[in-house]
Structure 1
């Protein structure tokens, strides 16, 4: 979350005042961002503003608010309380006890555990109309509650062509990880759920109100700990042996989210730490709506990282992926390729990383399937349905279905495995 906030500010956005809007492409470094829908990501600082209103127009928006510890607070837009009708969400700062507008005043009131939160939104470009989707996103309003009668302007930065990095890649595996963590803990109130972990961190001098000055020995220990912790999260993400990760027993496709019950990775009696590590090692933000496995529920993600023989996908080989038609969706579907090291869209001379049914020709007139190709060079039979990969680098893909139908869940429709070609 801190990586997202810092990257957003580096792009020119100001908390509470402006937000980037973009359709993600390879020059936008972000964990498994997609090129299917335009994004809006607004850093909100409740210490600065006091109670803050997020006002959404009616329309096909999908989003949420998460706190500084990536804990889910509220869904917005289609998965939210008012679904497609828009509405106003009132975010209250930690410990706020003054009177607030009642529900009948038209506000959905949400109490936050941290001063810093993130409002993340996507607009569904129905019919491929990106202009309409962008117009919908840029009609969102954010303003302090005490300015609701005369709201200040909230502006939007067109970052389609501007490189951005909203990841912790620069410090997730080294000593700087602990410095960043200390900075977060030093600026946020303690969260009850995290008290045991905060106690352990305090033994390392990572504590609110206390300087973080590790000696040479401790720096070495913490540097190795950050690297090992990052590597263990990548194992959870890409080399798990959990049987519940498998979507279909005769395919290598996996579920990205392993806890469809909720957005907090809770299971009966405990917290599913591996499921949480798996998600946040390769993705961002969380809510119950993102993980539901039911017909018509938002979007569905499958992870593909091996071919049909179980070998990890590599950028030096050419692969074919066969998808039966029609794909069971009510909106659209896509396949996006990510670099295994950056967990971001692959960067190649081709300049794109996704094949999208809204914008690319993924239908065929005379067959019951479509073949998609992936490799360093375009196969002769690809007909443009190809994503370039980089020799010497591993990669994985997300198969996304927006508005999934029942066949996506009951096994009556399945994509093929990646087939390595000679």
Structure 2
């Protein structure tokens, strides 16, 4: 009898088990956080799933389209001071008053918004020490100019051709094809011998005009913005609904870029679609604002707390490569686009070019990021640090250390009104083979005035070391800077 009862209990348990397998899978019992009844979602589950899916789509879309909205910040920064598209180019010996993601004071800059919707535009450089590029509205690389470009610093006429142009392309031009109408042209003039004014004049000699006027060009005007306070960032949009409003404006203005079709599909699911009005309801607005905050924060984690071992420039230092994919302006690898590297770069910086990421001797320039001291602690604006730079620095041209506010990703703003120590300027008297000590903190240590950058208590900061014309020891480990060391 006992045996029969045990057998019956076993059979009932087996049947119950089969019932669970066939009719009530594990996810139906709440392990996913969703509730299903007889295999169907409850109303509460459906509502939550829709919200969760839209938030996931929105965060992915935010991270992908961030470079597009970021470059719009450059365009709007120019427009705010009267430098309109196809009408003017701004030039500046930049400093902390020009707010822009990791802009620097090493060389004067020139930038203009190039609109090719009405036909190709010409950018004419004379022979000289220029480093320039054109990026499209998504910060995709279009063309290098100057020393890293096809003119190799010997001068030339660069022709930027848009997606709709069907006309003939005349001979004698260095041609770059762009998939968007709006493009950023950015050019630096190297201050050879420390002559900053001469470099500014070289920028003012650049000519930009429509191809249609090539026979009798009337170049756009040049505006010196050195003393102007400018904001060329997307900071005011990046954590709220304005991010999506700006992105929608761009989607409406620009042609569809075919290789991004899946990402346009994500936007369509969120209510942003070319040819349609963007009017998110209260639910979608809340989701999009949350996605902007969380997406931005995820980008900053990629920028400043990556877990990738390949980020380190040297195994015994805290310095990291700012760009994680060598030689590719689009972060392409054999496995596909490195989205983490892409996120990391655009959270910190603007514009791309293959020349910016090369890790070979003779490359245009290289950038190392320092956000932590030698103990691994983040750099604190209320503390004082020493940075020892071995001499000579392996660069054919010059080198610098620039300090950035971690929240704005722009040069620190203090009453010192500078954020960089440069071999052509503040450090021009550094000679020999002994290391030079640089200082950073709220107050200058005694005797360090010309080798000191002021920081702000209560605000974190990070630094870039830049070497222009880097040589072999910068890559093979035989030369390397010290870590930041706190001075008690």
Q: In structure 1, what is the equivalent of residue 116 of structure 2?
A: 46
* Structure showing greater Rg: 2
Give the whole-Å Cα distance in 1 for the aligned partners of 2:436 and 2:165.
Answer: 55
- 1:65 counterpart = 2:134: yes
After superposing the two structures, state which structure 1 stretch, 91-100 or 114-123, moved more.
91-100
CA positional deviation for 1:14: 1.7
Give the whole-Å Cα distance in 1 for the aligned partners of 2:350 and 2:404.
Answer: 14
Q: In structure 2, what is the equivalent of residue 91 of structure 1?
A: 160
**Residue from 73, 92, 113 that aligns with 1:3:** 73
Matched residue SS, 2:153: helix
Give the whole-Å Cα distance in 2 for the aligned partners of 1:86 and 1:161.
Answer: 29
Q: In structure 1, what is the equivalent of residue 361 of structure 2?
A: 295
- 1:56 counterpart = 2:125: yes
Q: In structure 1, what is the equivalent of residue 443 of structure 2?
A: 377
Give the alignment of 1:221-370 within 5 angstroms: 221-361=287-427, 363-364=429-430, 368-370=434-436
After superposing the two structures, state which structure 1 stretch, 345-354 or 87-96, moved more.
87-96
Residues 375-415 of structure 1, C-alpha deviation per residue, up to 9 Å, x if partnerless? 00001142421000000000000001111111111111110
Give the whole-Å Cα distance in 2 for the aligned partners of 1:111 and 1:410.
Answer: 36
> TM-score w.r.t. structure 1 length?
0.97
Matched residue SS, 1:181: helix
Give the whole-Å Cα distance in 1 for the aligned partners of 2:432 and 2:220.
Answer: 50
Give the whole-Å Cα distance in 1 for the aligned partners of 2:438 and 2:302.
Answer: 28
Give the whole-Å Cα distance in 2 for the aligned partners of 1:384 and 1:144.
Answer: 46
Matched residue SS, 2:193: helix
CA positional deviation for 1:92: 1.3
Q: In structure 2, what is the equivalent of residue 125 of structure 1?
A: 191
Give the whole-Å Cα distance in 2 for the aligned partners of 1:251 and 1:145.
Answer: 50
Figure out how many residues of one structure are paired with residues of the other and give that number: 418
Residues 196-223 of structure 1, C-alpha deviation per residue, up to 9 Å, x if partnerless? 0101101111011111101111111100
Give the whole-Å Cα distance in 2 for the aligned partners of 1:266 and 1:152.
Answer: 39
- 1:215 counterpart = 2:281: yes
> TM-score w.r.t. structure 2 length?
0.84
Give the whole-Å Cα distance in 1 for the aligned partners of 2:311 and 2:151.
Answer: 33
Residues 260-293 of structure 1, C-alpha deviation per residue, up to 9 Å, x if partnerless? 1311100003110010010000000001011001
Give the whole-Å Cα distance in 1 for the aligned partners of 2:214 and 2:334.
Answer: 42
Q: In structure 2, what is the equivalent of residue 194 of structure 1?
A: 260
Residues 112-141 of structure 1, C-alpha deviation per residue, up to 9 Å, x if partnerless? 100111111000000001121111111111
After superposing the two structures, state which structure 1 stretch, 6-15 or 283-292, moved more.
6-15
Matched residue SS, 2:450: coil
Give the whole-Å Cα distance in 1 for the aligned partners of 2:449 and 2:284.
Answer: 56
After superposing the two structures, state which structure 1 stretch, 122-131 or 379-388, moved more.
379-388
Q: In structure 1, what is the equivalent of residue 248 of structure 2?
A: 182
- 1:163 counterpart = 2:232: no
Pair 86,332 (structure 1): closer, same or farther in 2 beyond 3 Å:
same
- 1:399 counterpart = 2:465: yes
Confirm or deny: 8 A CA contact 1:301 1:400 kept in the other structure: yes
Give the whole-Å Cα distance in 2 for the aligned partners of 1:382 and 1:44.
Answer: 44
**Residue from 91, 111, 119 that aligns with 1:21:** 91
Q: In structure 1, what is the equivalent of residue 51 of structure 2?
A: none
CA positional deviation for 1:367: 6.3
Structure 1 segments of 4 or more deviating over 2 A? 361-367
Confirm or deny: 8 A CA contact 1:265 1:272 kept in the other structure: yes
Aligned-residue RMSD, C-alpha: 1.1
Show structure 2 runs of 5+ residues with no match.
1-70
Give the whole-Å Cα distance in 2 for the aligned partners of 1:363 and 1:196.
Answer: 55
Give the whole-Å Cα distance in 2 for the aligned partners of 1:366 and 1:275.
Answer: 37
Pair 68,211 (structure 1): closer, same or farther in 2 beyond 3 Å:
same
Give the whole-Å Cα distance in 2 for the aligned partners of 1:366 and 1:215.
Answer: 66
Give the whole-Å Cα distance in 2 for the aligned partners of 1:353 and 1:73.
Answer: 31
Pair 366,92 (structure 1): closer, same or farther in 2 beyond 3 Å:
closer
Tell me which protein shows more helix as a share of its residues: 2
